[in-house]
Structure 1
Amino acid sequence: MSLLSSAGRGLAVLCLALSGCAATPDTAPVFWTGFQDHPHGYLSADAAPNAARFLPPPPAAGSLREQADIETYRATRALEGSARWAMAQADNEIETPSAPRVFAPALGVTFDPERVPTLTRLLGRMLGDLETIQTPVKKGVRRPRPFVAEPAATCIAPQPWLTASGSYPSGHAALGWAWALVLSEMAPDKADEILARGLAYGDSRVICGVHYPSDVEAGRIVGAALVASLKADPDFQADFIQAQRELQTLRAARP
């Protein structure tokens, strides 16, 4: 495969991120590299749900639910060094195009963004939509993360921005569940495996020590609201059809 020129790479990234065009036959698709050039979501701020308006508040201080959250946080510290702890470390990845590879075993294929460019872009744009939906509640509810309220081992080294950000709701749980809902519709014969992996992706945040169980549950509500809204968006629906075809072709070609 020949290397693209700098100008060609820039054009390809712009093309994939903004207009969704496919790569030409003699070039491989080029994707974004981080949040700086990440594609925007499908939903406008006016069309997107506002999580601050439909999510219940986090558990009240001293409530039985908060106590259960804290007890779970303490109990899962015992998983440090286990295989599930290592899985939680890997599930910390949320940036696309690489993050959706966690669903590859459930789908029974190797997730290769170059072979499913429309699917890759669709899943990436969903991250942009998630930010639109959850930002109001993230800013309005300043629930300290578990490791901030009670310092203990976490599966990742918390960066300053993570320490300063609110715990409620879990964005990872929201996106993992939203991805699972979309992928299970694209591959209904693998729905059980996909949905189970989507749940595990959110549970990893509890095991990691960066969210409470109630944060994860609220995140899944946000993820479901995101998918419900996208189903009414014509651009998403058009991309969904093409992405499903790509996935079907990829799965048909597996050994």
Structure 2
Amino acid sequence: MVMNYPQQLPWMKINDFLLYIESLSDSKNFSMQVIQKLHTLIPYDRFSVFYVDSNGKLNDATIMGADEGWIERYFDYYSKLEQGNYSLLEKLNDGSSSKIKVKSRDWTESKPNEFITDFIRPQGIKHSVGMMLHDVNDYSCIVFTLERTKLSKYHASDIDTLSIVQPHIENLYRKVLENGPKISKKDKYAKLRDVLTKREVEIAGLLCDGMTPRMISGKLYLSLSTTYKHIANIHTKLDVSNRQELILKLIEMKDGIYQQS
């Protein structure tokens, strides 16, 4: 179905954005480069990027302009309110065959409830828009949220613009994953064995299972800061620059990880 978009959309900016993302050739910092460039199309006051695995479990989150504690409280409690009505994935993907990949919310017009009163308003969030990317297997892999605390609400033109660029970003993301470096299972196993300590291998395996750093801390009876230090060491040893790339690499290495734990 051909979509008829209004002529007043920022077509030159959209074109510049698409040319820019086409220059991205690897998974390192992919999401950060995309969301930073998105600001030229759709200004925001703060953002969050969430990485989920094939089971829909949160692997990691990158945020700008918000306290990490709010994110932890969201996933531990608020996302489960009202039968998951405010779940990040539920808001963008209703489970139907036609997946919603872009959605906006005007929180100033929302009826007050526990989520609005205790989570949204204390952070000063007035408007938000979300975008979801799926990998080649159509799993939910990355969710972007752009939030406004001072700027005016998102208009229909903003949503149309995001809807136009979303499939291009998604296709590029899939291409980036498919064209990543191919390493044999034997080499992957040897690399983990050579560079990671026993504890790091254990933590890597738990990350592959979709556990968050806080969950890992509780399971292994480690302080959260110690867990983060181990994860940072894994980053360095496996030559990755963020946990998005780390998770992708560890999922490929999963067999080797579990043989070592």
TM-score by length of 2: 0.23
Which structure shows the higher strand fraction?
2
Q: Which has the higher contact order (CA 8 A, sep 6+)?
A: 1
Which structure shows the higher helix fraction?
1
